[in-house]
Structure 1
Amino acid sequence: MKSSNPIFSRWGARRDDAPADAYLRHPVGSPVGGPSAGDYATNPYAAAAGADARTAAARTAVTMDDVVVRTATTLGTVVLTAVLSWLLLPVDEADIGRSYGLAVGAAVVAFALSLVQSLRRTPSPVLILGYAAFEGVFLGVVSNATSTYIAPGVVVQGVLGTFAVSAGVLIAYRMRWIRVTRRFAGFVAAAATGFLLLLAADLLFSAFGAGTGLGFHSGGLGILFGVLGILLGAAFLALDFRQVEDAVAYGAPREEAWLAAFGLTTTLVWIYLEVLQVLTIFNGDD
């Protein structure tokens, strides 16, 4: 199944020989713990027609342990650089401008690295870990400033909230309360498009002197928009879980574990930022 996650959309990009309608849909009777044999007409990760049989046989298939290790490495890089930037980049009134400038620069570099990786046909651990490192710098400064000037203690709440959302989605996915089908993926893609268009409009209104833009960062509307962002992130996480499950079940190449780590990390960062925004508005209204 081709994920709507912008990172995982590159997952399985080499499956060019699979028919366009290879994905049938996740049947009602699929066993928990793995996709059904009816999900695809053919193995979507099978070697391309005409490929050397010995090369295909020697290929090491990805395992869940591979995904866990790469994801832990990528998230660990984010956490490490976030903690270092929190400790080394001060946010007091004298230095906050410089720290914010470095954070914005790190965010731009992280976006550029993620874009390059998204356009590649194969994962690059250097690009993925570089993205994680610069993303951590941005998160560290933003989290420190938020905790210092707006809502003390909100960062711990944001981390716990992110864990809670992730655990809830994982449980719901494993119990098949969330059914990741073609229709579900299409709905999430449409919702994400609308959400991003609203964010772009908000930025434009803010840039051209409309004060706080469309009001998505304060009050009831800000809380509603943040909750929608969290729900969208949770939907992306379900798509990510399905993508990993398919890759393991159908024997994707081992290197694809790095794409799993990349996609899961970007989704978790999204959820954390949305949770942080909602909690900040709640604390600011007290």
Structure 2
Amino acid sequence: MRLSNYKTNNPVFSEYFWEDQNDSNKKMTVSGILIKSIVCIIVIAAITSYIWKLNEEGMSVKWLTIGGMLASVIISVIISVRHHWAPFLVPLYTIAKGVFLGGFSAFAHKNFPELPYQAIGVTIVTLFVMLLLYQTRIIVVTKKLRSVIITSAVSIMVVYIISLILSFFGIKSYIWGTSWFAIVFNCIAAMVASFALLLDFDYIERYKNKAPKYKEWFATWGLLATLIWLYVEILRLMQKLAIRF
């Protein structure tokens, strides 16, 4: 069964990613995705470091963090429905995520100085472990596995959205605390995020040298979204464990 026939409501794994594959002579390549991803990661790291520095100098970055988060969500939604705009929107997404991660990581560093660095290390190790598992076919991305991962990811995002909405009315969700329920939920979210990397690898392998060149920006967006999600879940889990123990 062709991957392009598989339907999902998750914008990162949207069908828009693979439409109109023959509208360009230049095709998507792995090297193109790799270069774009590395450049975006460097930009995110630079902005994160700058926001982090501002926080250490005494400047409040709360609203920058919230603004970066909301901007990245809005940009992601636009990318999912206007995929031809990706070459222009992904750089904006990169900036927004850098601002968000700067504030998010600075807050964690203030309370637990070593955790952000440890979370980065765990994220990198997880990336290469999942890549190894995929390349050696120890884990094969089947239609059933793909469905389970996407359904789990969407479900987790829905829980986060509902919890965020409830927080506006003063209702605190259990997933934000340090209870065992919150820790288990965080563990599941981190596992789903790591398995979502397999979908990114699978998409790239299936459509390399087939999809048009601009689709490299979509692949970069999907990979960045998954990696950042994984990092956030790992850092949140580490914070909860540090507070509890």
Relative to the length of structure 1, the TM-score reads 0.77
Unaligned ranges ≥5, structure 2: none
Q: 1:63-212 maps to which residues of 2 (within 5 A)?
A: 63-90=29-56, 92=58, 95-96=59-60, 99-148=61-110, 150-210=111-171, 212=172
- What do residues 148-207 of structure 1 show as CA deviations (whole Å, max 9, x unaligned)? 1x2121000110111121111111111112211221121122212322232234334433
User: What is the aligned length?
Assistant: 239
Residue 268 (structure 1) aligned with residue 222 (structure 2): no
What residue is the counterpart of 1:24 in the other structure?
none
- Measured against aligned partners, the alpha-carbon deviations of 1:202-252 in whole angstroms (never above 9, x if no partner) come to 334433334x4224431322221111111111121100000000111x522
Task: Tell me the amino acid that sits aligned with residue 109 of structure 2.
Answer: S
State the alpha-carbon separation in 1 of the partners of residues 84 and 131 from structure 2. Answer: 27
Residues 61 and 262 of structure 1: CA distance in aligned 2, closer, same or farther (over 3 Å): same
The answer on whether the counterparts of 1:123 and 1:259 sit within 8 Å (CA) in structure 2 is: no
How far apart, CA to CA, are the structure 2 residues paired with 1:90 and 1:125?
Answer: 34
Task: Tell me if 1:228 matches 2:188.
Answer: yes
Q: Which has more helix, going by share of residues?
A: 2
Moved more, 161-170 or 214-223: 214-223
Structure 1 residues 207 and 184 mapped into 2: Cα distance closer, same or farther (>3 Å)? same
CA contact (8 A) 2:87 2:214 kept: no
Partner of 1:124, secondary structure, is: helix
Distance 1:253 1:151 in 2: 45
Q: Output the CA distance in 2 between the equivalents of 1:255 and 1:236.
A: 22
Kindly provide the CA deviation profile for residues 84-103 of structure 1, in whole angstroms up to 9, marking residues without a partner as x: 111134474xx43xx10122
Give the number of the structure whose alpha-carbon radius of gyration is greater.
1
Question: Secondary structure at 1:208's aligned position in 2?
Answer: coil
Identical-pair percentage:
23
Cα shift readout 1:250-286 (whole Å, capped 9, x = no counterpart): 5221221111111100000000000000111111123
CA displacement 1:118-156 (0-9 Å, x = unmatched): 1113253221011111110110111111111x2121000
For residues 215 and 251 of structure 1, the distance between their equivalents in structure 2, rounded to whole angstroms, comes to 42
Cα pair 1:77 1:129 within 8 Å, conserved: no
Give the TM-score taking structure 2 as reference length: 0.89
What is the alpha-carbon distance in structure 1 between the residues aligned to residue 170 and residue 69 of structure 2?
24
